Amino acid sequence: MTTQMKKDTWKAIIIGATGATGRELLAQLLAHPPCTQVDIFVRRAPTFQHEKLRVHIVDFMQPETWASEVQGDILFSCLGTTLKDMGSKEAQWRIDYQLVLDFARAARQNGVDKMVLVSAAGANAASRIFYSRMKGALENAIATLGFSSLWIFRPPLLLRPDSRRPMEIWSARILRGLNAMGFMKNQRPLPVAQLAQAMIAAVEESPEMPAIFKAKDIRALLGE
């Protein structure tokens, strides 16, 4: 279920604000007049300050120390890791599933009733693929929390301006080649700046759009 934002101004919360998508979303929200405050939860303080920015430096593994601080109007989750970075499926599950769910639960307990979740293409709790199964399980768990509006994004391959991941670079090149030949146009790589733009647009402009945004829905939000 989704409902259009009725308030003229609103306060945002971001988890995953130091990742590529989160950084871009933070920059856009700080420049977005209707958003009057942005709370971010991070391990280390950012290198800049802004009058709209509130920084919470936390130990993510101790929810009891930060749960009461997750307050605002909309929770944006851009939090995600890779198996390579985390070293094991168990460690990745703790971040990509459990930590995001912990924040969502805390937000609901504090009266936050809207959430935007960056998931993954192919998310499916019944998938044999661990990553897709984890993301699908997370979507299902958050859907039970009672948010009045929940927007789930399943973007195509994301283009990060500072990416140095060989697989990501080669995948983007392959997709561009297929796109040029007329194949998989809806799955062409998406810059993180455009994903952030679509997330904000969904919150403010999409009462009739689906709760789950796949690649074609994201591009529709962008007017493509």
- Residue 201 and residue 198: Cα distance in Å, rounded? 5
Please write the tens of the pLDDT for every residue from 166-187: 554 444 454 445 444 454 455 6
Strongest mean pLDDT among 2-16, 130-144, 153-167, 198-212 = 130-144
- Residue 117 and residue 188: Cα distance in Å, rounded? 21
Domain ranges of the chain: 10-221
Q: Is the pLDDT of residue 2 over 70?
A: no
3-state SS, residue 6: coil
Other beta carbons less than 10 A from residue 175's beta carbon:
19
Largest distance between two CA atoms of the chain: 53
Please write the tens of the pLDDT for every residue from 123-153: 999 999 999 999 999 999 999 999 999 999 9
Q: Topology of 10-221 in CATH?
A: Rossmann fold (3.40.50)
Quote the radius of gyration of the chain (alpha carbons, Å). 17
